[in-house]
A = this chain, B = another copy of it.
Amino acid sequence: MSSPKERIIATTFELFARQGYNSTGINQIVAEANVAKASFYQYFKSKEDLCVEFLNVRHEYWFNELNSFVSKEKESKSKLMSSFDFLIYMNQKEDFRGCSFLNILSEISSDNVKILNVIQNHKKDVRNYFSQLIENKDLADHIYLLFESSIIESQLFRSNELIETSKKIITQLI
């Protein structure tokens, strides 16, 4: 069996993404990870710390999935469109739970700089991702903005409709 820390992270990865940050208690995590309460606090100073770790793991996971998904395409423009299909793919896979980063953003207090930074860095990377696909910086930001709203609107309406709308818009833009 894996180490306690690994089991904590694996369990947290699943629970935070599915239930959210505040709705997931340390009790549930240590119970499902089969780890002693005190062991948890040996690896994570606080729940906040665990959250940072979660976001880091999620960051890596998310970009891996994204890159893997769009790697089927060769051209930049195809990769771009495929990025929006990736959202549809994720919505199906995770039942329209939206973006873990934005969800946690809504759950923390605005002076929680530690977590805020991690979320900001993730989104900066997303923005960069589009900048690398598209030469025109303004266009890249434009698409980034459509990407972001695609995520939250599909979460809100539990539907991919506005992702498709975004795809249509982008087809005309590029």
Contacts and interface: CB of A to CB of B under 8 A. Distances in A.
Interface of A: 19-20, 22-23, 95-98, 102-107, 109-110, 116, 119-120, 123, 138, 141-142, 144-146, 148-150, 152-153, 155-158, 162, 165-166, 168-169
A23 B120 contact: no
A155 B20 CA distance: 19
Interface of A is mostly: helix
Question: Oligomeric state, in number of copies?
Answer: 4
A25 to B, nearest CB: 12
Contacts of A116: 156
Given A98-B106, A123-B157, 20 more contacts: A22-B22, A22-B23, A95-B110, A97-B110, A98-B105, A102-B106, A105-B152, A105-B155, A106-B106, A110-B158, A120-B156, A123-B153, A138-B165, A138-B169, A145-B149, A145-B165, A145-B166, A146-B149, A148-B152, A149-B152
Nearest to A146: B145
Given A23-B22, A145-B149, A145-B166, A156 B123 contact: yes
25 contacts: A19-B109, A20-B106, A23-B109, A96-B110, A97-B110, A98-B106, A102-B106, A104-B106, A105-B106, A105-B155, A105-B156, A120-B156, A123-B153, A123-B156, A138-B169, A141-B165, A142-B165, A142-B169, A144-B149, A145-B165, A145-B166, A146-B146, A146-B149, A148-B149, A149-B152
